A and B are shown apart, each in its own frame.
Chain A
Amino acid sequence: MRKLLAQAVVALGLVLGLAAPAAAATTSAPLQHQQWSFSGPFGMYDQGQLQRGFKVYTEVCSQCHAIQYIHFHNLGDPGGPFWSPKYPNTNDNPYVKAIAANWPRQVTEINADTGDPSHRKPTSADVLVAPFPNDAASRASNGGALPPDMSLLAAAREGGPDYIYAIATGFRPTPAGIKNAPPGKYYNIAFPGDLSSYWTGDPNAVPTGGFISMPPPLTDCKVTFDDGKPCKVADEARDVAAFLQWASDPKMDQRKQIGTAVMIYLGIFSLLLYFSYRSIWRDVEH
């Protein structure tokens, strides 16, 4: 029996060992894991980083990407980029008020008396006003592509902030062997794609990554930081990825803090129950 099994294993190994040509498939460069202040069960957001990331979003991303679930007042919520214990009511927070008042775009409303569209400055109760009034306008301005809303971007991509960082830093010159690259598209090693139909070189060495419709958004020190932190592309990318992680999961700090207390409580409660159990069952042979 054992001999038969060994023969079967050898035969299987021989059969499986036969190499076959690599099939065309979607590829992307493996994600590099970044150091995040919010990793692990006790990791919290770094408020300075969230402020820097918010600045990158405001000055760069928000030109094309909406963030429909973030209101100005959310920026001053506990755990948020401009949270301050001095302003438990985030509507009193002067930073939040100033950001809303200086936002580059106005809120479109209907004038109640005339029914005509009207415009006003945003207040802290408003959503961060989107760059385009609707998806069609957004596509028309972006070569047919729709820049995704960023509120849940980190939650909606495998790898979350690591993926956002990888995309923002993954732009490379189009490799020499690529022919007929689509116009208005940009080669990015982290963007999942299949370049085999453009590739004229060795079919077993198709470059990883794909073509993305977004032009490289960041350059060194395109955004400068008020706290004097470095502003290379990698720094800007890391900070904006952290900000977008916060935008996806703004209650994380609170969740982990409560979670730690819950764990301690449950640990003690379980011990008490265990000793009650031992005490009640002490006379039962079982």
Chain B
Amino acid sequence: MSEHSHYEPQTAIERWLDARLPIVRFSKELLDFPTPKNLNYWWTFGGILAFCLGVQIVTGIVLAMHYDPSAAGAFDSVQHIMRDVNYGWLIRYIHSNGASMFFVAVYIHIFRGIYYGSYKAPRELLWLIGAAIYLTMMATAFFGYVLPWGQMSFWGAKVITSIFGAIPVIGPAIMTWLVGSFTVDAPTLNRFFSLHYLLPFVIAGLVALHIWALHVPGNNNPTGVNVKSKSDTVAFHPYYTVKDGFAVSLFVIMFAIFVFFMPEALGHVDNNIPANPLATPAHIVPEWYLLPYYAILRAIPDKLSGVIALAVAIGCLFALPWLDRSRVRSMRYRPQARIYFAFFVVACLILGYCGAHEPDDQIIPGLAAFNIGDSSINSMAWLSRIAGLYYFAWFLLINPFLGLRETPLPVPDSISTPVLSHPAAAPAGAAAAPEKKG
């Protein structure tokens, strides 16, 4: 990314620095980075995610100053933060709701990447690093949810760690090693705190790689067409700093509504009861952002098969660049793929909905139905099976074969073509993009 640099060190200090540690050149290159000029608001979530990571790390470091990672003191120290620490309630609510906001943003970012084919060559590694960030985020969020040591923290930790116990032969040993004891207990909390402090910096490192891998091929864009000339791009600064800044500001408004007016809306009331190994809550549910996977896990009665399905569900995300055989990047020019994609989003939402309910809960309350296999057709178990089946079919059947069968719309020659010409004169596909804005 040096060919777009026009940096000439002006002062003696800058020249001295440039010959030793070209940090000024580096930041100028970041700011001048040529970026497609047609990126829409879905592209602002990268910046929003960087903002979220920063917020979580800063608030988390302050919380750790007041938190006591011991089984006897954790719950009390959280109440100490909420009641006695100056603005401790604000810092904690930003951190706990910030985790949810982080996932809202990352899910939009992932769906955007899928819709516009941002995982396709030459951006496979960029996508893989992103998937690794997402996986690390899930682990970090899970460890963090255990720290308040409430009922849902404790029993959530029990359920999630027991997933590893399902692995044949070595499973129980792995589980003991993971929780540091024969059951979830004080040593578990200590190590989860340690890992919860470590992983955000792993994420930060992966984010650096993610941005590096982005800056080699450059941004994808809503047309999916490669940048052809300088007229297709604008400098990152000030064009995208101001646009991302505006989007971050809108995002913070939503964030603040949760923090100030409904701070417990995304949590679970049971986590305000101290952890009690002798009293199991009526419904053990993870945080909302893990619910789709929880539904997949519980859709299969056999524990090991459920765990395998869970692993494959996440693995599919990593394999997506090689599962999709279409040569057209953006779904803007793939009308059929767009429909399948819409159903995929719906399937993910349904899985999340099922994950929040018990498998035996009725979908339509009061409506009686017959059983297929082990459960009623009018149960969350079957709804999550159907949605889960589509989830896997979308990755493993639709993506590999749709690209070979479909007839894509004509793709514009360059980014500037659909932008500069009148919609009527543009290729058919270019006008069929009502979401293109900014």
| A interface residues, Cβ below 8 angstroms from B | 15-20, 26, 41, 69, 74, 148, 151-152, 155-158, 160, 248, 250-251, 255-256, 258-260, 262-263, 266-267, 269-270, 273-274, 276-277, 280-281, 284-286
B260 touches which of A155, A262, A274 (Cβ 8 Å): A262
Max chain B CB contacts within 10 Å: which of A20, A258, A286?
A286
**Stretch of B175-183, B248-256, B293-301 contacting A (4+ beta carbons < 8 Å):** B248-256
Q: Is A281's CB under 8 angstroms from B239's CB?
A: yes
Q: Is A273's CB under 8 angstroms from B245's CB?
A: yes
Query: Chain B interface mostly helix, strand, loop or mixed?
Result: helix
Please, could you name 28 A-B residue pairs with CB atoms under 8 Å apart, sorted by A?
A: A15-B370, A16-B368, A16-B377, A18-B369, A18-B370, A152-B272, A157-B269, A158-B269, A250-B83, A251-B89, A255-B89, A255-B90, A256-B261, A259-B256, A259-B259, A260-B260, A266-B253, A266-B256, A267-B253, A270-B246, A270-B249, A273-B242, A273-B249, A274-B246, A281-B243, A285-B416, A286-B419, A286-B438
Residues of A within 8 A of B370 (CB): 15, 18
Known contacts A158-B269, A258-B90; 11 further A-B pairs (Cβ under 8 A): A16-B367, A17-B367, A18-B370, A19-B368, A152-B273, A155-B272, A156-B269, A255-B89, A255-B263, A258-B260, A262-B256
A139 to B361, CA, bound (A): 35
CB distance from B292 to the nearest CB of A (A): 23
- Nearest 7 interchain pairs by C-beta: A259-B260, A20-B368, A156-B272, A273-B246, A155-B272, A270-B249, A152-B272
Q: Is A286's CB under 8 angstroms from B38's CB?
A: yes
Whether, in the assembled complex, B364 has its beta carbon less than 8 Å from a beta carbon of chain A, the answer is yes
Whether, in the assembled complex, B171 has its beta carbon less than 8 Å from a beta carbon of chain A, the answer is no
Whether, in the assembled complex, B264 has its beta carbon less than 8 Å from a beta carbon of chain A, the answer is yes
Residues of A within 8 A of B245 (CB): 273, 277
Q: Is A16's CB under 8 angstroms from B246's CB?
A: no
CB within 8 Å of A: which of B223-245? 234, 238-239, 242-243, 245
Q: Is A155's CB under 8 angstroms from B369's CB?
A: no
CB distance from B401 to the nearest CB of A (A): 21
A248 to B263, CA, bound (A): 13
Given contacts A158-B269, A266-B252, contact A69 B246 (CB under 8 A): no
Whether, in the assembled complex, B190 has its beta carbon less than 8 Å from a beta carbon of chain A, the answer is no
Q: Is A276's CB under 8 angstroms from B242's CB?
A: yes
A280 to B175, CA, bound (A): 55
Residues of A within 8 A of B90 (CB): 255, 258
- Please encode chain B, from 368 to 385, with 1 for each CB lying within 8 Å of some chain A CB and 0 for all others: 111000000110000000
Residue on A nearest B234 in the bound complex, by CB: A284
Whether, in the assembled complex, B270 has its beta carbon less than 8 Å from a beta carbon of chain A, the answer is yes
Number of interchain pairs (Cβ within 8 Å): 100
Whether, in the assembled complex, B414 has its beta carbon less than 8 Å from a beta carbon of chain A, the answer is no
Residue on A nearest B237 in the bound complex, by CB: A280
A158 to B270, CA, bound (A): 9
CB distance from B248 to the nearest CB of A (A): 9
A236 to B246, CA, bound (A): 50
Given contacts A16-B364, A74-B83, A157-B269, contact A280 B238 (CB under 8 A): yes
Residues of B within 8 A of A151 (CB): 79
Residues of A within 8 A of B364 (CB): 16
Q: Is A266's CB under 8 angstroms from B249's CB?
A: yes
Residues of A within 8 A of B83 (CB): 69, 74, 250-251
Q: Is B242's CB under 8 angstroms from A284's CB?
A: no
A155 to B93, CA, bound (A): 14
CB within 8 Å of A: which of B115-147? none
CB distance from B255 to the nearest CB of A (A): 9
Residues of B within 8 A of A277 (CB): 242-243, 245-246
CB distance from B193 to the nearest CB of A (A): 22
Whether, in the assembled complex, B332 has its beta carbon less than 8 Å from a beta carbon of chain A, the answer is no
Q: Is B37's CB under 8 angstroms from A263's CB?
A: no
Max chain B CB contacts within 10 Å: which of A17, A41, A269, A270?
A270
Whether, in the assembled complex, B420 has its beta carbon less than 8 Å from a beta carbon of chain A, the answer is yes
Whether, in the assembled complex, B209 has its beta carbon less than 8 Å from a beta carbon of chain A, the answer is no
Q: Is A263's CB under 8 angstroms from B256's CB?
A: yes
A138 to B253, CA, bound (A): 46
A280 touches which of B239, B261, B367, B416 (Cβ 8 Å): B239
A151 to B259, CA, bound (A): 21
CB within 8 Å of A: which of B34-84? 37-38, 79, 82-83
Residues of B within 8 A of A280 (CB): 238-239, 242
Residues of B within 8 A of A267 (CB): 253
CB within 8 Å of A: which of B266-288? 269-270, 272-273, 282
CB distance from A152 to the nearest CB of B (A): 4
A263 to B273, CA, bound (A): 32
Q: Is A16's CB under 8 angstroms from B239's CB?
A: no
Residues of A within 8 A of B82 (CB): 251
Residues of A within 8 A of B263 (CB): 255
A18 to B90, CA, bound (A): 52
CB distance from A237 to the nearest CB of B (A): 20
A277 to B377, CA, bound (A): 52
